Amino acid sequence: MLQNFSSIKSLHSTSPVEQTHTVKGWIKSLRNSKKFSFMVLNDGSSHKDLQIVVDATLENYAAIAALGLHSSVEVTGLVVGSLGKGQSIEMQAKSITIVGTIPEDYPLQKKETSLEFLRENAHLRGRTQLFSAVFRIRHTLSKATHDFFHERGYFYLHTPIITSSDGEGAGEMFRVSTLKPENPPMVSGKVDYSKDYFARETFLNVTGQLEGECYAMALGKIYTFGPTFRAENSNTARHLSEFWMIEPEVAFADLDDVADLGRDYIQFMMKRALEFNRDELEFLAGKNNNPDLIATLEHVASSPFARVTYTEVIDILKKAQAAGHKFEFAAPDWGGDLATEHERYMCEIHFKKPTIVTDYPKEIKAFYMKQNPDGKTVRCMDILVPGVGEIIGGSQREEDYDKLTTRMKEMGLDPAGYWWYTDLRRFGTTPHAGFGLGFERAVMYVTGMTNIRDVIAFPRTPKNAEF
């Protein structure tokens, strides 16, 4: 039986007219009339469904006609050319086996399909056209990530998920411990982590960068693509507590090299989605009332990004404010961090395209970023994109041992705790640079979905770890 099994995607791409095939899938709609039924079937392999004509003379016709939406069936039938609009083939069923039925209380039968309702049914939402489209695109972008870096000579590095260093102060961390919370060992009034599993405090990683740098100094060009954890206390539409990050790290590279790399990578993902997920993108454009989605992707995939320094951004924001633009948070003075609305103003209103902002004040950036000769700014960049805001954060790293350790001390970090990281600057140091791209933000950008909870299968956010 399996030998003759066809995916709906393969049937659509080969259009094997006048041949008998067996397909297995779920019923998306069923219209019954006296003499036959139109069954719309999908097996998840493609956005396009397969229409099946079910003749009332089939022996189990009564049972089939009574099936609820998302019942699973196996259908053997003849593939024929279709006269119906929007499809080139359909199937005339010869036999149908009912595999799994749907009871009355199936949640997705309800009319209500708000995104909020679907989040509460995250175990089922992948069955909707919307979510299956998003998740097929997510797959495309994931595959595109590996292809992009592999084709450019990068090695995929798996960095640890459990870490004892606090990353960079990139975010609040989740503790990893096997101590009994109700009765932990104590020493002078504090929990004694020397008695914990790793004989020290450990956490889930907020980045793989520091470990990535070690292997960039060995393999030249590496990238990570793994889960990342931040106990963000902000409940926004762009932050998850568990997300996936891609972090390339390149030896003998400077900031311009990785700014170009980030742009090329984003454009490569877009081109792949346009190539492999046209049907999904067209559907999302309609569903999300986003008619320009495809035209915008095509344009951005082949156009230069804007590029400005942080100092120029402050100037532009101040001028916009003086000209009457109302920001919820006033445009910051030089030295202050940019709020999301400021980032979005730059890429959505000022430049109307992805924008690379470089050279932020050192006070608001991590210790490892290379200092500029001005003594005030560091060689870093954020890439901001319309609809999402920051999608990439990166920098050239400080490769000089003395400058790095001096900056660590200035920022209240003990270099001894990072001995293996500072060793990289003692043993064959080189200029190097890298960035982190939040994978879910890339999926948001390409799909036009506006809440990050809707582009990851089972989102983890504050007060939410169901499923």
Smallest distance from the beta carbon of 50 to ligand ATP, in angstroms?
36
- Contact flag: residue 350 with ligand ATP (CB under 6 A): no
196 or 454: whose CB is closer to ligand ATP?
454
- List, as one string, the DSSP characters of 90-139: EEEEEEEEEEE---TT-GGGSS---HHHHHHTTTTGGGSHHHHHHHHHHH
- Per-residue contact track with ligand ATP, 426 to 465, x per CB under 6 A? ----------xxx-xx------------------------
- The letter for the amino acid at 143 is K
Smallest distance from the beta carbon of 166 to ligand ATP, in angstroms?
13
149 or 243: whose CB is closer to ligand ATP?
243
Looking only at residues 371 through 400 of this chain, which bind ligand ATP when binding is defined by CB under 6 A? 390-393
130 or 206: whose CB is closer to ligand ATP?
206
Smallest distance from the beta carbon of 314 to ligand ATP, in angstroms?
17
245 or 408: whose CB is closer to ligand ATP?
245
Smallest distance from the beta carbon of 90 to ligand ATP, in angstroms?
42
Looking only at residues 214 through 273 of this chain, which bind ligand ATP when binding is defined by CB under 6 A? 230, 232, 239-240, 243, 245
Rounded distance between C-alpha atoms, residue 142 and residue 127, angstroms: 20
Distances from the Cα of 403 to the Cα of 148, 415, 421, angstroms? 34, 12, 14
Q: What contacts 232, CB < 8 A, 6 or more positions away? A: 171, 172, 239, 240, 241, 462
25 or 386: whose CB is closer to ligand ATP?
386
How many helices and strands (H and E) does the chain possess? 13, 18
Total interface residues for ligand ATP by CB under 6 A = 17
Smallest distance from the beta carbon of 232 to ligand ATP, in angstroms?
5
Looking only at residues 274 through 303 of this chain, which bind ligand ATP when binding is defined by CB under 6 A? none
Smallest distance from the beta carbon of 107 to ligand ATP, in angstroms?
28
Strand partners, 79: 19, 91
Smallest distance from the beta carbon of 300 to ligand ATP, in angstroms?
17
Smallest distance from the beta carbon of 350 to ligand ATP, in angstroms?
19
Smallest distance from the beta carbon of 182 to ligand ATP, in angstroms?
30
Task: Beginning with the edge strand found earlier in the chain, give each strand of the sheet holding 380-385 in spatial order.
Answer: 155-156, 221-229, 242-251, 432-438, 389-397, 380-385, 355-358, 306-309
Looking only at residues 310 through 339 of this chain, which bind ligand ATP when binding is defined by CB under 6 A? none
Q: How far is CA 175 from the centre of its chain?
A: 24
Among 53, 170, 214, 316, binds ligand ATP (CB under 6 A): 170
45 or 224: whose CB is closer to ligand ATP?
224
Smallest distance from the beta carbon of 330 to ligand ATP, in angstroms?
19
208 or 393: whose CB is closer to ligand ATP?
393
Rounded distance between C-alpha atoms, residue 148 and residue 437, angstroms: 14
Rounded distance between C-alpha atoms, residue 144 and residue 150, angstroms: 10
Q: Which two tokens stand for residue 176?
A: 């990893």
Phi-psi label, residue 359: left if phi above 0, alpha if psi -120 to 50, beta otherwise: left
Query: How many C-beta atoms lie closer than 10 Å to residue 291's C-beta?
Result: 10
Q: What contacts 456, CB < 8 A, 6 or more positions away? A: 240, 243, 244, 440, 443
Rounded distance between C-alpha atoms, residue 356 and residue 337, angstroms: 15
84 or 335: whose CB is closer to ligand ATP?
335
Q: How far is CA 394 from the centre of its chain?
A: 17
50 or 391: whose CB is closer to ligand ATP?
391
Q: What residue ranges bind ligand ATP (CB under 6 A)?
A: 170-171, 230, 232, 239-240, 243, 245, 390-393, 436-438, 440-441
